[in-house]
Structure 1
């Protein structure tokens, strides 16, 4: 099985409605989340930073995948927005497998 590095398959379940949304993130979502967290999470306890990072990663991944509206995400990410998301959305990250990627599904040829 291939390792797709920082790409992740994310499942976000709205615990108030039971609706689940699944999408694959590009590595850019991870990088955007790290940059946002570095700027906005100064002074936050180390034990909680990881949770904020995961919700930021999900947020930027959902934006890139066109799932923001479906998930009811705010137009701009804030710490308060993450607090709200964590009250409503349960998120799960999984490794991306070859069949999860659109190019792999379409049978696109590889460049040599």
Structure 2
């Protein structure tokens, strides 16, 4: 949180109380209720921002899909998604590991 805020960025959080820390500092699989609230929050944010950076990984599993094509379609033309989990399958539905792709008018790296 402090690292995000030190850069002048806003840290967003789901209002549901649920610990997300798993082994080795990686995220763990969350409850259905949490995931639904999280996806709603991500959709709302995608409509407002010009860049999304994702990093979520779960040890031994493919990266969780956090950014849907519906969310990408709601983003401003020229927006960018930087998917740092691409090599593990990506956090974005439009991610192609090792490739720069476009979905609608959004670039996915």
TM tier, smaller: under 0.3
- Decide which structure has the larger Cα Rg and report it: 1
Q: TM-score, normalised by structure 1?
A: 0.26
Greater relative contact order (CA < 8 Å, ≥ 6 in sequence): 1
Q: Larger helix proportion, structure 1 or 2?
A: 1
